[in-house]
Amino acid sequence: MNENWKFKQVRGYNWYPATVPGGVHTDLIANKIIDDPFFRLNERGVQWVDKEDWLYETTFDADDNTLQKENIILRFDGLDTYADVTLNGTKILSANNMFREWTADVKSALKPTGNKLEVYFYSPTKLGQEAWEKIPFRYPASNDQSENGGMFDRQVSVFTRKAGYNYGWDWGPRLVTVGIWRPVYLEAWNDARIENVFYNQKNVTKDKTSIDAVVEVSADKDMSALVSVVNQTDKKVAATKQVSITKGLNTIHLPIEMKKPKLWWSNGLGEPFLYDFTTYISVNNKESLDEEWIKLGIRSLKVIQNPDQYGASFYFELNGIPVFAKGANYIPCDNFLSRVTDSIYEKTILDAVNANMNMLRVWGGGTYENDVFYDLCDKYGIMIWQDFMFGCSMYPAEGDMLENIRLEAIDNVRRLRNHACIGLWAGNNECLEGWFHWGWKQQIEKQNPKYADIMYKQLRDQYFKVLPEVVKEYAPGICYRPSSPYTDSIATPTNTKGDMHFWTVWQGAEPLSGFENQTARFMSEYGFQSFPEFQSVKKYAPKSEDWNITSEVMMAHQRGGMNANNRINDFILKEYRQPKDFESFLYLSQLVQADAMKMAMETHRRTMPFCMGSLVWQHNDCWPVASWSSRDYYGRWKAQHYFTVKSFADILISPVEVKGELQIFAVSDRLNATQGKLVIQIVDLNKGVTAQQEEPINIPANTSALVWKKQVDQFLNGQNRDNVVIHLEFTDKNGKVYGNTRFLDLNKNLHYANAQITHTATPVNGGYELSLTSDKFARGVFISLNGKDKFISDNYMDLMPGKTIKVKVATDLNPMDFEKNLKIISFVNSYDSY
């Protein structure tokens, strides 16, 4: 039902073609009524859109086969957000939640030809303002950019069940969407159909798996039916049962036993194997009335929280194996969700896979993602920490709103519960933290203690009663946590149990070394901001007058404001040197972000098994912006993402200096011990390698171990710290090499030589193999192609003197144009010599 739609502003006259799934903003762009809000300052000029009511309409015919069915249902997978739906003049449903599915029985309203389907969308901000004005107190909503939307101080987002980031965030624009954002279906059936199948994996081991297949069947009459589950992969009937079905909804349990199943594993641990299962319902030995197929990963995925000598553990256990969670926090890929194609989803997930991640946290201010997102995570072995969609706010969770939340939770827990990737449900992002530690409680108590009591009761009912009850009933066995971070019900600050969000370096402006001084049982958020690279900036800020971080355009695409710009600049000056121009500032912002996150990731992994998770903020962007992402909106990897590939590798050789002692840790995710040779080099920034030590080492399985230590001054043997770096290489017995570099002073104090980097480009399938060699140590070597989209297999790398590194550059440029547009710089090219 996604064709022949048109739309108009309710108080206007002109109809325009519409795309479904889609939204008002994208339809207005397609009809050239508004300009792309992501370009320069255009966001400011479209704030009127969410203040209007909008009407969508289509006409369609119904064939005889459809009309003759006993049951005809119209299903909307997503209406954004307040909508009345009429068919042939008869109102068939009202919607008030972006995250729910909506259905209506249209059997009596449908006719053979000329059916008219209308969806009337009410302004979400107007209805939000009406709710805002009815209460005498204000709900905290820390990221609602009401002033950018012309709403003054009216932070109305908490009254509407739609994606919080629509109303703005400190990395996103205020673009409050409206429209039919997911597909529409007309469904017709006779006798009986399958509504849902839940494969409740009761007991999973490598030897045997027990599954309770819970099949929900709707019937329009009493009947006897055969319900079967077929394992298509193994070509066998897994379970079958003759049942008596009564009119209405029926629940049928089919026990399935599997011997020696192929288990689903996360990225890096093994194959994320998926079985094909199909459930059938048939009557009188005829062909099936209905069937439902699924790709199912067989696995045991638990969160282990047991008391220990430190406090309490917090880690994911997959098929009996403790897994260090390596990953990132994920936000929606676009403000206009219909623009996120399957290929964008796949690139986004593969970028996580190729950075050696095994987990993404679907953050609570966005959306419960489309099915394809979770399908891809199943396929590629990415575990999911799934938030419910509540973030950084308090909500009026009582009465109709609380019931709406309950139904939203049921819809999404039921939809996602069969995915092998789903490992945890969390009630919200930082709402407990905000109440107890950001001053919200005190702020409301000052207005009236009774208001604080109301708000806190709503919080308790929402996160400690309703949501856990839904998870327990509809996805038994999966872990639920009331919030993230969460230590206990009053958000007691501690690093000895639960998960931690660590922002002291970025928000508190501590030195980058602060990342080496803080760890917890599970680091579920931490981050550092940077700008996109110059090639990306030119896409949304193409004019030369834009190319200053304080220009109107750059500030509009920096939602952290001047404070964020100043922090980046301050860290660059503290750690590096004054960038010589705008392009160099962008480059150094990425390098400082990458260095900061490298420190954090390595610290978390070194302290394994005390710490068992490291999820960086954030994986992606929803528009072109300065942010904490490691991949910009256009999919270009920032320096941080390239560093993550190495920091999250299955073997990490990580040096750290502790009270003048150089300590080298070997961290392994492998399930067997690893042997190999460790080479430790002192590299003079002018002369090259001046000293070297080799050590055979044994790395234990699935943990961190100190494998070498020595006093730095003793190891340097008189060489100056500001003129050398420590370079490490570990080669395992299969010849795989893992490297790392340790700087013994701030980069701004190091006497980097003006390295001469030579290159050769050899044509290969899909682009070029680029060989790079430097005569001296070269820091942060960055490769770019002027004005061209590209992908480079490694970048922002450190080149050892005289050692050739090869990288793949994906491009369709011919050799002459490739050389013409190729640019290679290193750290010393970013500042004026002094």
Which CATH code fits 325-647? 3.20.20.80
Q: How many CA atoms lie within 13 A of 124 on its CB side?
A: 31
> What was the pLDDT predicted at 197?
98
Contact residues for 194 (Cβ-Cβ < 8 A; gap 6+): 215, 216, 217, 279, 281, 290, 291, 292
Task: Kindly report the number of other CB atoms within 10 A of residue 269's CB atom.
Answer: 20
User: What are the tens digits of pLDDT across the range 609-632?
Assistant: 999 999 999 999 999 999 999 999
Structure tokens that stand for 697 in this block? 């080492």
User: Does 430 qualify as catalytic in the annotation?
Assistant: yes
Task: Return the amino acid letter for 45.
Answer: G
Whether 40 has a pLDDT exceeding 60, the answer reads yes
Rounded CA-CA distance 811/157 in Å is 43
Task: Kindly report the number of other CB atoms within 10 A of residue 456's CB atom.
Answer: 17
Contact residues for 599 (Cβ-Cβ < 8 A; gap 6+): 512, 513, 515, 516
Rounded CA-CA distance 503/487 in Å is 17
Q: How many residues does the chain have?
A: 834
State residue 604 phi and psi, 5-degree precision: -60, -40
Task: Return the amino acid letter for 302.
Answer: K
Rounded CA-CA distance 789/641 in Å is 17
- Strand 82-87 to strand 115-121: parallel, antiparallel, or no bridges (unpaired)? antiparallel
Nearest one of 51, 82, 54, 80 to 146, comparing CA atoms? 51
For every residue of 309-377, which 3-state class applies, written as one string? CCCECCEEEECCEEECEEEEEECCCCCCHHHCCHHHHHHHHHHHHHCCCCEEEECCCCCCCCHHHHHHH
**Exposed (0-12), middle (13-18) or buried (19+): which is 795, by Cβ within 10 Å?**
buried
Whether 16 has a pLDDT exceeding 60, the answer reads yes
Whether 786 has a pLDDT exceeding 60, the answer reads yes
Please state the pTM of the whole predicted model.
0.97
State which H helix or E strand residue 604 sits in.
helix 582-606
User: What are the tens digits of pLDDT across the range 91-117?
Assistant: 999 999 999 999 999 999 999 999 999
What's the pLDDT band for 788 if we cut at 50, 70, 90?
confident
Mean pLDDT of 243-256: 97
Q: In this structure, is the dihedral angle defined by the CA atoms of residues 806, 811, 813 and 819, taken in order, positive or negative?
A: negative
Nearest one of 105, 69, 95, 75 to 2, comparing CA atoms? 75
Whether 834 has a pLDDT exceeding 60, the answer reads no
Rounded CA-CA distance 367/78 in Å is 11
Contact residues for 330 (Cβ-Cβ < 8 A; gap 6+): 348, 360, 361, 362, 363, 366, 618, 619, 620
With pLDDT > 70 as the criterion, what percentage of the chain qualifies?
100
Whether 287 has a pLDDT exceeding 90, the answer reads no
Q: Is the link from the previous residue into 609 a cis peptide, with omega within 30 of 0?
A: yes
Per the CB < 8 A criterion, the answer to whether 611 and 521 are in contact is: yes
> What was the pLDDT predicted at 331?
98
- 325-647 matches 757-830 in fold: no
Whether 519 has a pLDDT exceeding 70, the answer reads yes
Domain layout of the chain by residue ranges: 6-185, 191-296, 325-647, 651-749, 757-830
Q: Which residue spans within 433-517 are E strands per DSSP?
A: 479-481, 500-502
**First CA to last CA across the chain, in angstroms?**
67
What's the pLDDT band for 239 if we cut at 50, 70, 90?
very high
Per the CB < 8 A criterion, the answer to whether 615 and 502 are in contact is: no
CATH class, 191-296 region: mainly beta
Whether 509 has a pLDDT exceeding 90, the answer reads no
CATH class, 651-749 region: mainly beta
Q: What 3-state class would DSSP assign to 241?
A: strand
Nearest one of 526, 613, 110, 665 to 326, comparing CA atoms? 613
> What was the pLDDT predicted at 94?
98
Q: Which residue spans within 700-834 are E strands per DSSP?
A: 703-711, 724-732, 737-743, 757-764, 767-774, 778-785, 791-792, 797-799, 805-810, 822-825
User: What are the tens digits of pLDDT across the range 698-749?
Assistant: 999 999 999 999 999 999 999 999 999 999 999 999 999 999 999 999 999 9
What's the pLDDT band for 228 if we cut at 50, 70, 90?
very high
Contact residues for 814 (Cβ-Cβ < 8 A; gap 6+): none
> What was the pLDDT predicted at 280?
96
Structure tokens that stand for 455 in this block? 């708000």
Q: What 3-state class would DSSP assign to 519?
A: coil
Whether 798 has a pLDDT exceeding 90, the answer reads yes
Q: In this structure, is the dihedral angle defined by the CA atoms of residues 511, 513, 519 and 524, taken in order, positive or negative?
A: positive
> What was the pLDDT predicted at 285?
74
Whether 284 has a pLDDT exceeding 90, the answer reads no
Structure tokens that stand for 763 in this block? 């044509």
Rounded CA-CA distance 212/202 in Å is 7
Structure tokens that stand for 36 in this block? 């792309």
Give the dihedral of Cα atoms 810, 812, 816, 819; nearest 10 deg.
Answer: -20
Task: Kindly report the number of other CB atoms within 10 A of residue 224's CB atom.
Answer: 10
> What was the pLDDT predicted at 271?
98
Write out the DSSP string of 667-685.
EE--SS-EEEEEEEEEEET
Structure tokens that stand for 723 in this block? 């003129």
Q: Which residue spans within 353-481 are E strands per DSSP?
A: 359-362, 383-387, 422-426, 479-481
Per the CB < 8 A criterion, the answer to whether 654 and 664 are in contact is: yes
User: What are the tens digits of pLDDT across the range 417-474?
Assistant: 999 999 999 999 999 999 999 999 999 999 999 999 999 999 999 999 999 999 999 9
Nearest one of 126, 120, 139 to 54, comparing CA atoms? 120
Identify the active-site residue in 43, 408, 430, 525.
430
- Strand 479-481 to strand 422-426: parallel, antiparallel, or no bridges (unpaired)? parallel
Mean pLDDT of the chain: 97
Write out the DSSP string of 268-280.
TTS-B--EEEEEE
Per the CB < 8 A criterion, the answer to whether 523 and 615 are in contact is: yes
For every residue of 77-112, which 3-state class applies, written as one string? CCEECEEEEEECCEEEEEEEECCCCEEEECCCCCCC
Per the CB < 8 A criterion, the answer to whether 146 and 154 are in contact is: yes
> What was the pLDDT predicted at 498?
97
Task: Kindly report the number of other CB atoms within 10 A of residue 394's CB atom.
Answer: 24
Topology given in CATH for the domain delimited by 6-185: Jelly Rolls (2.60.120)
User: Is the CATH number 3.40.50.720 carried by domain 757-830?
Assistant: no
> What was the pLDDT predicted at 787?
78
Rounded CA-CA distance 223/245 in Å is 5
